[in-house]
Amino acid sequence: AEAALDHHVVTDNNNSNNESSNSNARLRMEVAQLHSALKDKIQKELHSTAAMETKQQLDLLNEEKSAQQTILTNLKMELDRSNEITTHLQSELENAKSLTRLSEKQFD
């Protein structure tokens, strides 16, 4: 009877150890899953943050590009106007030279 009782105690201890071992294994697995999920979440946040920063930089570059295009357009308009003035002045100079030649011929 004592041997049967010892066998029952040993069996109970083995069951208890198996349950504890199973519980520990289950907890380890849950911790590993949570750790993996946390790593994934952090990775996604890092990508999201990097994407936001890249978008902000792109927006700033686009604003700068737009401002430079406006400046370029204004400079081209100024150049066109300057070319018109130059053409007009060259025409007046040619007229003045022509009048000078006529005047010189009259005095000759």
pLDDT digits (tens, 9 = 90+) for 15-57: 667 778 888 999 999 999 999 999 999 999 988 999 999 999 9
Query: Sign (positive/negative) of CA torsion 95, 101, 104, 108?
Result: negative
How far apart (Å, rounded) are the C-alpha atoms in residues 7 and 100?
136
Alpha-helical regions (H) of 1-108? 2-107
Task: Give how far Cα 54 sits from Cα of 46, 47, 50, 57, 59, Å.
Answer: 12, 10, 6, 5, 9
Query: Sign (positive/negative) of CA torsion 94, 95, 98, 103?
Result: negative
Binned at pLDDT 50, 70 and 90, residue 2 comes out as low
User: How many CA atoms lie within 13 Å of 19's alpha carbon, on the beta-carbon side?
Assistant: 6
Whole-number pLDDT of residue 19: 78
Query: Please, what is the average pLDDT of the chain?
Result: 88
